Structure 1
Amino acid sequence: MTGSAFIPPHPPRTAEAAPIWRGFFGERARNSVYGWSEKAFEIDHIRRQVFRFTVHIPLDPDAVQRVLQSNAANYAKPDIVKKLIAPMIGRGLLSSDGELWRKQRRIVAASFTPGAVETVAPIFGAAADVQAAHWVDGDTGDMAAEATATTMTIIADTLFSGDARLKTPEAMRNIAASLKAGGEVRVTAILGLPPLPWNKTMREGQRAQKALRRTLADVVRDRFPDGGDDFLGALIRDLIDQFGREEALPLAVDNAATFYLAGHETTANAVTWTLYTLSAQPDLQEQVAEEVRAALAEDDAATLADRVPLLRRVLDETLRLYPPVPRFDRQAIGEDELSGTRVEPGDIISIWPWVLHRHKALWDDPDMFDADRFLPEAKAEQHRFQYIPFGAGSRICVGMRFSIVEALTILAHWLAAWRFAPAPGHTVRPVGTVTLKPENGLPLVRHRRD
């Protein structure tokens, strides 16, 4: 086992599943990873009636594979999800299905090949160094905010030619407000109501979404139709070729919003949680620091991520315990069967990495941190669909390689130069909305290694 026994925090669990109505009030309504029962981490399928929806939660990797791969044609993005995210990302890659999804996937995939990621990898380290330049030895900083600012800069620089409008503090606040509201809007959607601004979080979130869409629309229009020599430029030109100018313009805005929002938030969360797990395990942190300093000494940014195997295992184990997106959903088009349970057309299939990654039938001591789970020989024993931090199947995250290399590079630069320790008096608490973040950020004490 790498490191000493360490059990990172998770919300308390009940003996039995709570009534459905409890999910619409209090902490369960605000935090999707709160209030799970112990039983959920032991059984292979959950079926519940949530008002007008029948919801299935498959917890057997074979069933998850059926939904995401072997019978994926029967499981589309749910109508309710499309309605929830349409105000922000419209008909972009994340929310589309069928031929529209396939055409957009082919267009954007070229920007995320291993070769394309290697080309922009030096930008990752440079952004990490710039962000750390203002840190003071012995100070305490919110590493969630630091990681978010860094990944936002990277997305703006690599995909949008460094457009200054996408790197402002206001843009970062708008993203946070949009995601926070996204976690609450599901309540009204499940009840069949429009996403009304019924509280402060919803009102602020809707204002933030509109502001982000206006900014991104301006960025796209300024580049339309010629584009430029970056991701956005290629996206615009390819969309025009595929769909024509009239349809290409809104699709370009939709995809710009998709990759700007999702492209940095999930990576920032991965970096944040990894810094937390290492800060709580100082001996392991020192091992990682030694490895990354040796790797950085070779001065080859393009291959750095492939030369830090211990850090990669730490990242993978952190993503197991704190998957950046704790849930995602599909909707059945036709009849099917999952783990012996009948699925009807229209049923919602809710995939929960948060539960799968901690399931007692799939992992030994599942709540304990152990990076050796991801040694090659241990990984070979795992079911491909028991560990899905980036999704799986044909709709696996197109930016997965980009995100992994980005996270490893940021972490390598920061851990080589700085030592991180928990902030006295601060309790780390995971909160799930659209993504999984530590509540009130992650304050850590930073000490310069030199």
Structure 2
Amino acid sequence: MSDGIQALIAEAARQAADCEVWTAHRETEEVVCRGGVVERRSDVESGVTAVTVWLDGGEGYAVRALPDSDDPSLVHSALEVARALPGRLPPPPAAEPPAPPGTARAATSPALGEKTVHAVRELSTAAPGLDIELRVKAERSTVRLGRPGDEPRGYHTGLVQLQARVTATASGTGFVAHQMYGSAANDVLARAADVDLPEICALATVLAGPPADVLEYDDVLLTGWVAVKLLSLVIPAFQWDTVVEGRSPLAGKWGESVCADGVDLVDDPTSAEYPLAAPWDDEGTPTRAVELVQDGRLQAFLGHRHSTRSAGAGRAGSGWRGAAGEMPRVQPSHLSLHVGQALGDVPRPGRRLLRVVQANGVHTSNGITGDFSIGANALLEDPDGTRRNAGNVTVAGNVFDLLRRIEGHSGTVRTNRSHTSFVACPGLWVHGLTIGR
């Protein structure tokens, strides 16, 4: 599979240019089941080859939707870009060595066999008044990278993703969406059957009931489904590129308190909980855990080659491409928020709880300032455990203020995914939000 890489590197050398070739091959199986019936099934292969060249201080880039391409026109197109943009960047850094043997986790190769499809179909069978749609994917990828003078290196990843959409109908309609990830279909489906599906079916059933007449509560819990989406808003603030561009409100706050005491924020591309663990990023820089926040204080930013050179600080290792092989940009891999202080997953004795379980429209909030105002669905929980639909509510505030006002966590972690980036966060007990109808 490395013949294309070697051919493109050789073509660049004939043009007196330095070259880097990145290629990925992906296989994706998907099955959608609803009401005990298989509605759709697909099996898709795709891939991409991306070429970056450096010539006389200029950098050029070209990409093709074909894995391991050896077409020399890719190099020629990249060189035309480099000549049009001369003198913008220093020569590329020397290629860093791959991770030592034994440090990369063995990858799985998940597949959707008939036994798995049958299990998904059975799980989608619902009681009267409930509609369950399950979408399960098995993804297998091979990524390779080549630079002059080195043998191309690569790694494999395997991922199973289960998306559940549960709709309940009573006096109204209750809807809950949920995503689960893992390396093996059996593990993901067993967790869904025993824990996740019963929970979200119960939540959807409550949300389908009549809303409470009065919105009265003592404490607020943003469940992981909501907290993880709000946490995603602050990601740009922790990147060297936005610091350099003057768009990060955290610039110049190194060592200062940016979260509540006891809160850690860690990006770990090697985490055992991360099914797409990679030994190096898409620029070939070895990956490692980065503690962005430790005990509430800012410790680091994420960066790739260009942003860390521009900043004159930091370490690369967070340069990742999009699904179409776009130029690497700074992104987290598996960003997790940890809270040292735990209040548990039930309201404090004698207090009424507003449990916010579903967020709508978080993408319309301001990812730079952190201000947000979102629609949400919530439950009211009385001290005796009775749950009622709180109806549609509006939750407003500032996510940077929210991080400084965390009082504890529920212990239940939820994960949100965007291509190769995962963000994980438990439910958060917070104060200082504005909530209304």
- TM bin (shorter chain): under 0.3
Name the structure where helix makes up a greater proportion of residues. Answer: 1
TM-score by length of 2: 0.23
Q: Which has the larger radius of gyration?
A: 2
